[in-house]
Structure 1
Amino acid sequence: MAVQTMKEIRLIVSDVDGTLVNNKKKITPGTMAAVTKAQAAGIRFAIASGRAWGEMDEILTTLPMVEDFICSNGALVVHYHEGKETTLFRESFSREQTKAILMALKDVDVYIEAYSGSHIYGEEACVSHFSDYVSDTIAPLIMATRQMVPHMIDYVLEKQLPIEKVQIFYGTEGKKQQAKRLVEELGMFTVIESSEGNLEFVLPQISKGRAVKALADSMGITAAQVMTIGDSNNDLSMLTYAGTSFAMASGEDTAKQAAKYITASNEEDGVAQAIYTVLARQGK
């Protein structure tokens, strides 16, 4: 993990699942200590995740000093300070786009969920056979953070909810490819393959990289002063944007190819190791 030349880092942005948290979805004491040291050194630490704002409780509790959250792969950006949340950016599907994607997916045997601000809506009927779609590792997080409703598609459309992202958990490769093809045929959305057995669908202009750039611009800094850390395909845009970027050793090959450096796995405090590498390089 040798680092050659590196501008002084002013902002570190980390993905969550597969990166900041271990395989039990927990932030380790080692990672907490590294983030705390970075913040004390004057480096701002932010989150960029496919998760919704309502799924950030673990981070808010464990890393209370973190105030910037890029959610839903960049479709929602929230600043959280002293218990008050401020939405800095939000871009939702049009009603026509929401209807088009949900109707395209409705006859595929997958678990579908729709992201709307701090809420994620799922299909109540899927709960009885959740293991058909979702791994045992991630199922507890989903069950704790979703609002399951009967007839989810009808519910979302009737309530005219603003949707930032639609996500599916597919269970089998065949169902994944069927759903992916149907959505791609609409020509309205970017399809993101994540590492948890899911596909994410967002508007083409939405990405973590775009949101990280917006955050950097608001600080008056350049990409050369930004460091990003990720592990999956939904991290590629921010890994390529930042002047310094680390992929997890346990991450996707695409992430490793996009990043400038490789750090240890999420089971080995890879985020902490990347932070300490940068702090040492900057004499902090």
Structure 2
Amino acid sequence: MPNYKLLALDLDGTVLTDDKKITQETRKWIRKAVDEGVTVIFSTGRGIQTTEAIWDDLALDAPMVLVNGAEIWKGPGQLWERHFIKREDIRWLHEQAMRTGAKFWGYSVESLTHKKDWTEEMFERDWLKFGMHHPDREEIERLRELLKTRESIEITRSAPINIEISLKGISKETGVRRVCELLGITMDQVMAVGDNLNDQRLIRAAGLGVAMGNGDDELKQIADVVTETNEEDGVAKAIERYLLGSYSPIKA
């Protein structure tokens, strides 16, 4: 019998290798988990525009938590809920990105839009997530500190030189909690795997929080266990060892 009922997987740096592929070993163990009755979901910063093909590829008929919890799907083609950043916040975030010369992008209902394609019309759209990237570590830290003062937004990151912004109170953790409600289970029945700080709250809240070997050191410190890297089939080994193996979790 599996040790957990729900497996929540990050994609980039976790399920996906550095060249954005899924290894055969990872595929095999994800399928084994499904065959054992585990619900396998994504908990990713990606939107449906860049996730749907992976969902189809793995043939997962399960809920999904996308754009860091801002969008939740009950199953393929079954949208459940969305949480939008306020439009005045989008305009303010755009101003900060332009002021500092940061690259930026956003996930709206209609598209994934990058800086080069941004037009005035974009301010009339509803945005699930806004992101910024700056190669200067000091500049991105100054931006991060400024954004923390804005009470209506939630900020996190998936790399040291980026910032990911959602509506206040929205995270991968809140999304997975909603999926647990849908399935009639609790967070202690969840095993979550991730590699960066946008996974932090979920890793901390899950029954078993697994950090990737290539993950952020801060995430590794709060995770229950650390698996191998995304280039070493870390997800497959975590499933084998902790989800379907004889591992007996003891949480403080």
| Matched AA of 1:122 | H
**How much is the aligned-residue C-alpha RMSD, in angstroms?**
2.1
Give the Cα–Cα distance (whole angstroms) in 1 for the partners of residues 85 and 159 of structure 2: 24
Structure-2 residue corresponding to 1:281:
246
Deviation per residue, 1:57-89 (Å, 9 max, x gap): 4413430125322111000112333xxx12112
User: SS of the counterpart of 2:240?
Assistant: helix
For each residue in 1:207-255, what CA deviation from the matched residue of structure 2 results, as whole angstroms up to 9, or x when unmatched?
A: 1011111111111111221110011100011111111121111111121
Aligned to 1:204: 168
Distance 2:136 2:198 in 1: 20
Task: Supply the distance in 1 between the matched residues of 2:206 and 2:119 (Cα, whole angstroms).
Answer: 38
Q: Aligned partners of 2:70, 2:49: CA distance in 1, in Å?
A: 14
The answer on whether the counterparts of 1:52 and 1:118 sit within 8 Å (CA) in structure 2 is: no
Q: Secondary structure of 1:21's partner?
A: coil
- For the 8 Å contact 1:104–1:183, the answer to whether it is kept is no
Partner of 1:53: 48
Q: Does 1:183 align with 2:175?
A: no
CA deviation after TM superposition for structure 1 residue 189, in Å: 1.9
Partner of 2:69: 74
Superposed displacement of residue 123, structure 1: 2.0
Once residues 273 and 8 of structure 1 are traced to their aligned partners in structure 2, the CA distance between those partners, rounded to angstroms, is 15
User: C-alpha separation between the residues in 1 aligned to 2:188 and 2:213?
Assistant: 23
Tell me how many residue pairs correspond in the alignment: 247
Pairwise mapping of residues 221-240 of structure 1 onto structure 2 (< 5 A)? 221-240=185-204
- Which residue number corresponds to residue 18 of structure 2? 23
Q: Which residue of 2 aligns with 1:172?
A: 136
Q: Is the 8 A contact 2:4 2:191 kept in 1?
A: yes
Instruction: Give the corresponding residue for 1:256.
Output: 220
| Pick aligned residue for 1:270 from 218, 234, 248 | 234
Scaled by the length of structure 1, the TM-score of the pair is 0.81
Match of 2:120 among 128, 149, 154: 154
Once the 2 structures are TM-superposed, how far is the Cα of residue 33 of structure 1 from its aligned partner? 0.3
Q: Residue in 1 aligned with 2:250?
A: none
Secondary structure of 1:194 counterpart: coil
Stretches of structure 2 that go unaligned for 5 or more consecutive residues are 248-252
Aligned residue for 2:180?
216
* 1:209 match: secondary structure: helix
Tell me, yes or no, if the aligned pair for 1:108 and 1:178 is still in contact at 8 Å. Answer: no
- Structure 1 Cα separation of the partners of residues 145 and 200 of structure 2: 22
| CA distance in 2: counterparts of 1:90 and 1:216, whole angstroms | 17
User: Where do 5+ consecutive residues of structure 1 fail to align?
Assistant: 1-5, 125-148
Structure 2 counterpart of 1:38: 33
User: Could you say what secondary structure the match of 1:168 adopts?
Assistant: strand
8 Å CA contact retained: 1:76, 1:89 = yes
- Checking the alignment, whether the CA contact within 8 Å between 1:105 and 1:182 is kept in structure 2 is no
- Please give the secondary structure, in 2, of the residue aligned with 1:101: helix
Q: Secondary structure, in 3 states, of the residue corresponding to 2:229? A: coil
Q: In the TM superposition, what are the counterparts of 1:242-253 in structure 2 within 5 Å? A: 242-253=206-217
Deviations 1:73-117 (Å, cap 9, x if unpaired)? Answer: 000112333xxx121120002222222222232211111112113
Going from structure 1 to structure 2, the CA distance change for 1:255 and 1:192 (only over 3 Å counts) comes to same
Aligned counterpart, 1:102 = 94
**Number of the residue aligned with 1:138:** none
User: 2:68·2:170 contact (CA, 8 Å) conserved in 1?
Assistant: yes
Deviation at residue 11 of structure 1 after TM alignment = 0.6
What amino acid is aligned across from residue 220 of structure 1 in structure 2? G
User: How far off its partner does 1:186 sit?
Assistant: 3.0
Question: Residue 38 of structure 1 aligns to which amino acid in structure 2?
Answer: A
